[in-house]
Structure 1
Amino acid sequence: MITRDIDAFLAFARDAAPDFGPATARAAFLVAPDGFALAEQSAQDNAYMADAAAFDAQRASMQHRNLHRAISTVLPTVCFAGDPATPDALFPNNVFGTAAGRCIIGRMRHPVRQREAIRSDIRGFFAEMLGRDEVDLSVQPHPCELTGALVIDRASGLGFCGLSERCDQAGARLMHDAFGLRATLLFDLAPGEYHTNVVLAVLAGRAAVVCPRGFADPAVPAAIAGLYAPHAVVCDDAEHAAFVGNCIALSADTVWMSANAGAALSATHRQALADAGFRVETVVLDAIEAAGGSLRCCIGEVY
């Protein structure tokens, strides 16, 4: 099922058993922020990006290394070299995704990011080292920026896909099929939002973090929060702006977000995550956040 009909999706989702696959990734991969700088093309539709003067390549590199070290405590994590010709490559989950037996390569909207998809080292890692079948969506015309646009409940096989310049309806269908999902809910993001994973996270299949202001139709975040109730965190504007929605569960008992997000997270919402069985872990990423993404954007998942 792939639909815009909220009621039809909920009727299906409520009966979806948590047996689709592992709720969290087996491993992770990163791409180093080598040549970290403002990507002017990406800035056209990413309102979270700072001005060029705010980019500090040395600090971003240090913070990225600290991120690698931190998440390696909970799951195996590899880091590929960056490339100054692809300044957004430190956000690899938009370009490379995985499902059982497959590596999926997305179609990026901007040419500066389309360059990332042709990397032979990352393709070879999945195809030759891990023996994954390649599903290459990068050569077709519809933008589909993988787990930036599509938030997935891996336990139940459910997708939540926000449409914007970074993903159209045809691209959403391609991703739904590539990831082999049971059901995907389509909806429009609010004007000015570029990726769903900035305003929504599904944590290990049992909790959700939702930023309602990021959705064009308020019925959509309300429905998603209801689906995961009582373990739903509904962010206020300050939490939204600090990237609380750009969090990720990397194990059954940890949810990771940036230090700025952790500082903005209210005590009530921190307790809500604890009630869902999650300990909040944070990493300082303010330099990286100048590029318009945060912790979850940096992490590619290996399922």
Structure 2
Amino acid sequence: MVTNRVILVRPHAFTFNKETAKDNIYQISPKETSENEIKNFALREFDDAVSILRKNKIHVDVIEDFDESTPDSIFPNNVFVTFPGKVFVSEMYAENRNKEYNKILPQLKKIIDYNRSEVIDFRNEEGRVLEGTGAVVIDRWNSICYGSLSKRCDKGEFLKFAKRFNLKPVYFRSMDKGVDIYHTNVLMMVGEKFAIIADNLISENRDEVLKSLRDSGKEIISLTEDEFNNYVGNSIELKGEGKNILVISKSGYNALTDKHKNTIEKYDFILPIDVETISKYGGGSIRCMIAENFFELEN
């Protein structure tokens, strides 16, 4: 299942988030760039991204967030996940990220028919975290979910999620520079016909992950170090006109080897989008910015 409807949150207060930097080694602390400059660069990148998606026939709904207390609201896919007729709500690792859902909810209700939705709310007082499709990469064609266990992907919550949505769970551990990779979707994506994965960084259950991908018919693209560092794994497949679209950061596109580019182009049109500022200071790329809207789709 693939969609051409997405939800993005305009980052009026985007900046380096000290709370998420505790376990996200990919965020870079600003030294010579002011918070105001970062915000303005990010807003420009965001608006360009929306324009590019719309020009490629992707339906984009935009939520506005003006609150200075939620600098990471530009990454809504971590906070909620949609299924046909259902909305999943995440418990977040950082305190300031747990504020996001209630703030965007009034605008979300204008996008989906919230009154007839089934809300599956995993927020809890014990701090058991599962950060949406940051923590869980879903193969919606084969009803499988992948999760790299970390502070953002609690094993118990991951298994509960899989059971609740009738998905086969495949969990593993991955490490980079001696620490857990904070989000599964930094490491991998799963498309209709192929999967992109930095499998060399999987420290536990690597064979099980690769077997699951092969058994579900995916052509596996194993990332080089340069591709991983430029967020090739943090890309997303959307529904295009006649051919699916792989939305990828511009830096990721530039890092692709010719072999990998050719493999992807067998199946998808590649759409690069420049999100350099957002990636640099947010520690996440274009996929993190996109919450897919499956609410109205049939199972």
* Normalised-by-shorter TM-score class: 0.7 to 0.9
Cα shift readout 1:151-199 (whole Å, capped 9, x = no counterpart): 0011121111111000111110232134x13311111222241000011
Distance apart, 1:248 and its partner CA: 0.6
For residues 274 and 246 of structure 1, what CA distance do their matches in structure 2 show?
17
Q: Which amino acid aligns with 1:61?
A: L
For residues 219 and 210 of structure 1, what CA distance do their matches in structure 2 show?
13
The residue number in structure 2 matching 1:79 is: 62
The residue number in structure 1 matching 2:297 is: none
Q: Which amino acid aligns with 1:69?
A: S
Query: TM-score by structure 2 length?
Result: 0.87
Q: 2:95 aligns with which of 111, 115, 128?
A: 111
Query: Are positions 1:25 and 2:16 aligned together?
Result: no
Query: Are positions 1:69 and 2:51 aligned together?
Result: yes
Contact 1:37 1:57 in 2 (8 A): yes
Q: Which amino acid aligns with 1:223?
A: K
Q: 1:36 aligns with which of 7, 11, 14?
A: 14
Cα shift readout 1:251-283 (whole Å, capped 9, x = no counterpart): 1421010000000001000011122x1111101
Q: Which structure 2 segments of 5+ residues have no match?
A: 295-299
Query: Are positions 1:174 and 2:160 aligned together?
Result: yes
Cα RMSD over matched residues?
Answer: 1.9
Query: Are positions 1:294 and 2:285 aligned together?
Result: yes
Cα shift readout 1:42-83 (whole Å, capped 9, x = no counterpart): 000001101133561111100011111112223211111123
Query: Are positions 1:278 and 2:258 aligned together?
Result: no
Q: Which amino acid aligns with 2:167?
A: R
Distance apart, 1:236 and its partner CA: 0.7
Contact 1:159 1:181 in 2 (8 A): no
SS in 1 for 2:153: coil
SS in 2 for 1:81: strand
Contact 1:126 1:132 in 2 (8 A): no
Q: How does 1:126-275 map to 2 (within 5 A)?
A: 128=113, 131-139=116-124, 141=126, 142-178=128-164, 180-190=165-175, 191-203=179-191, 205-217=192-204, 218-227=206-215, 231-251=219-239, 252-275=243-266
Query: TM-score by structure 1 length?
Result: 0.86
Q: Which structure 1 segments of 5+ residues have no match?
A: 1-22
277-286 or 52-61, which deviates more: 52-61
Residues 33 and 196 (structure 1 numbering): CA distance in 2 closer, same or farther, change over 3 Å? same
SS in 2 for 1:216: strand
SS in 2 for 1:148: helix
Q: Which amino acid aligns with 2:293?
A: V
SS in 1 for 2:11: coil
The residue number in structure 2 matching 1:58 is: 40
